[in-house]
Amino acid sequence: MNAINSELFAVTLRERINNYFKSTNTSVKSDRMMVSKIIIGTSWWLLSYLAIFLCSSNPLTFLILYLFHGLGHIYFSFNVGHDALHNAISKKKKVNKFWAYSYDLLGVNTYMWRFMHHQGHHACLNIQGEDMSLETAGVMRLSNKESRRKFHKYQHYYAFVIYGIYLIYYVFIKDFKYFLAKNNVHLKGVKHPVGEYIKLFLGKAFYLFYMLFLPIYLLPFEWHFIVLTFFVTLFMIGIVMSFTFQVTHIIDTTHYPEHRKAYKNYVFHVFETTADFATTNPLANWFFGGLNVHVVHHLRSDVCHTHYPALTKIVKTTAAEFGVNYRENNSIYKAVKAHLRQLKKLGNED
């Protein structure tokens, strides 16, 4: 594609997305579906938590209810918290800020996640040394720009374990590591408000209180069984969340730009580094909060995710019209398989 056509593609795609909202007289923020998702997410989190205390008649019932509550964490963060952190729920900042704190309910600091997700991911997709989603302290090789170690050839096998412990690592280590970081490319010279340090510790304390200490204190089960259930639940959440994010960027057809100016237009940076999955699956669209239709999310993260399926049709049509490579795996299984193929390739080839 020549320079003129490439610029025309970016302009045309932007215009068509904007025209969608004008022609349908629709706000880019929440619609009725999003309101229902907020109600469902809130109810799932609250009612499933109460059920743990009211209906746990034996250890097995407790385990099932606790895991179900964990699934509610995933749904709440995907569908509500993520949109709020992108100011996509409402035009009012206070509304977005309120719902963004749902991340603290998951044990992840809202302030730092917003900062690092915007500066350390959206602004630098798949760029080694800048995109924090590629950072694993050398345990895995997620980019062809990273040094390869002998054990990486097994990473497509042990990825499930690493992804499973990721949330545990985030809750107990990574947030604190970011707050204290001095050498991180995105945090150099950044002075975090004292209030955010207070929120960090209060958020962690509240999370551990309601997820761990309260069940230990009120329920008639062995404390070590409850602790084990807590970590098993975090492991489950970690696997689901990690794979959901990774299969949209690290598959065998996406690319790793050298720097932020590798493409003349950010639109092409998105198309070369991002892939969708299961875009026509109603259940996937309902559960993943628009993360499965990821290309349009990176193009317009300010838009509420309930609009993404309709906008993705525009993205597909426009990309095909201009001959731009739109990447998609049409099922969750194929997306995971493509990610594992890429892990295997990165682990065995320089």
Q: What is the mean pLDDT of residues 304-314?
A: 97
3-state secondary structure of 263: coil
For residues 273 and 131, what is the distance between their CA atoms, to the nearest angstrom?
12
What are the residue ranges spanned by the domains of the chain? 3-30+265-333, 33-246
Q: Is 21 exposed, middle or buried (0-12, 13-18, 19+ CB in 10 A)?
A: middle
> 338 vs 124, 137, 160, 246, CA distance in Å?
22, 23, 15, 10
Q: What angle do CA 337, 341, 343 make, to 5 degrees?
A: 115
For residues 258 and 129, what is the distance between their CA atoms, to the nearest angstrom?
10
Say what the pTM is. 0.93
pLDDT at 198: 96
For residues 252 and 340, what is the distance between their CA atoms, to the nearest angstrom?
9
Summarize pLDDT for 6-61 with one digit per residue, the tens.
Answer: 789 999 999 999 999 999 999 999 999 999 999 999 999 999 999 999 999 999 99
Summarize pLDDT for 84-137 with one digit per residue, the tens.
Answer: 999 999 999 999 999 999 999 889 999 999 989 988 999 999 999 999 999 998
Share the mean pLDDT of the chain.
Answer: 94
| Residue 181 pLDDT level (bands cut at 50, 70, 90) | confident
Summarize pLDDT for 130-171 with one digit per residue, the tens.
Answer: 999 999 989 999 999 999 999 999 999 999 999 999 999 999
Q: What is the mean pLDDT of residues 212-224?
A: 97
